[in-house]
Amino acid sequence: MSTTAAPVRTGPRPQRVLGRVLRIGLAVVFLAAGLSKLAGAPELVDLFDDIGAGQWLRYLVGVCEVAGAVGLLVPRLTRPAALGLTALMVGATVVNVAVLQVSPLVTVVLALAAGTTAALSPGSRRR
């Protein structure tokens, strides 16, 4: 008669820890960015004037960033929130390059981080 021992868990897997760190870090970044847009920080009002789309876009982006930040912290919403924020950062990258003609480095890094968060989220793999 053979017996098999159940695997012993010694702690959270590195992938899970990385996912949590990314989710929390991104949530803080997007919450701060979204709230500053909604509060009407003067430099952001000027930035959206430079884009030429109007202040309604500043409010829309701010709401999306705050909603995405909250979604990153809710396990069921992590993946869709991360994917939405990735799309938002892809759009911001296009605007930075095509309209504002500034470096897209920050938006590219945020897009990659949000995409990685989506890939590491519990809903992204089968169990």
Q: What is the pLDDT of residue 3?
A: 63
Do residues 50 and 4 touch, judged by C-beta distance below 8 A? no
The per-residue pLDDT for range 1-48, each reduced to its tens digit, is 566 666 655 667 887 888 889 899 999 999 999 999 999 999 999 999
Q: What is the pLDDT of residue 18?
A: 83
pTM: 0.84
